[in-house]
Structure 1
Amino acid sequence: MTRLPLLAGAALLALASHASATSFVATTDTLGGLIANASESTSDISSSFDDDKVVLAARDDAASFVASAGSIRGARLEAALRHIRTQAPQIQADDQQLARAILAL
């Protein structure tokens, strides 16, 4: 009787490790795609706004925004996002990508 719980536990462990490995692969694939998109946006933004006072003033707010996964939105970051979208409407990036680009300046 003690073998049945042991075998059941081993089977659950095997299933859990397979699911964990599969989700890890899916997560890294997703993150790789996001990083590629973010790096394109970052290069467009950094070449255009690397000496812009409004954008540079938003670096601390951008760091808080990125670290909080978008929960903390400072006034300087909001001003910088509006400024970037006004000055470069061709840049199609979400707020998270723009905040990361600001941090890369």
Structure 2
Amino acid sequence: MSRLRLLSAAALLAVAANSHATSFIVTTDSIVGGLKASSDATSDISSSFRDDKIVRAARDDAASFVASEGAIRGVRLESALDHIRQQTPQLNATDAQLAQAILTI
């Protein structure tokens, strides 16, 4: 009888370990997918606005915005954010993502 319990416990542990591994893989894939989408949007922004004077003038304000976690919002940054959103209305990026993209230019 104890062998049957031992085998049952081993089988149960194997199934539980497999489900945790699958859950981890799904979670990891979701996180990586979200980061890739964010990175793609950021690189699209930085490459298309590389020579834009309004966006380039907002670099210092963008740095302050990122460093203060959004607490400091300069006039040049606000202008650049409006300009970017007017030029690319299909873009769904947060202010923080846009500010980071401005810093990469």
Structure-1-length-normalised TM-score = 0.66
**Residue 53 (structure 1) aligned with residue 81 (structure 2):** no
**C-alpha displacement at 1:36, in angstroms?**
2.7
Task: Give 1:94's aligned residue.
Answer: 94
The unaligned stretches of length 5 or more in structure 2 are 1-27
Secondary structure of residue in 1 paired with 2:79: helix
Task: Give 1:83's aligned residue.
Answer: 83
The amino acid of 2:66's aligned partner reads V
CA spacing shift, 1:67–1:34, aligned 2, 3 Å: farther
Structure-2-length-normalised TM-score = 0.66
Q: 1:18-55, CA deviations, whole angstroms, 9 ceiling, x for partnerless residues?
A: xxxxxxxxxxx697566433311111101210000000
Equivalent-residue separation in structure 1 for 2:79 and 2:104 (angstroms):
18
CA spacing shift, 1:31–1:48, aligned 2, 3 Å: same
Task: Give 2:3's aligned residue.
Answer: none
Larger of the two Rg values belongs to structure: 2
Q: CA RMSD in A?
A: 2.0
Task: Give 2:72's aligned residue.
Answer: 72
Equivalent-residue separation in structure 2 for 1:74 and 1:33 (angstroms):
32
The amino acid of 2:74's aligned partner reads G
Instruction: Return structure 1 stretches of 4+ with deviation > 2 angstroms.
Output: 29-38
CA contact under 8 A between 1:54 and 1:80: conserved in structure 2?
A: yes
The unaligned stretches of length 5 or more in structure 1 are 1-28
Task: Give 1:42's aligned residue.
Answer: 42
Equivalent-residue separation in structure 2 for 1:66 and 1:102 (angstroms):
10
Q: How many residues are aligned here?
A: 78
CA spacing shift, 1:74–1:42, aligned 2, 3 Å: same
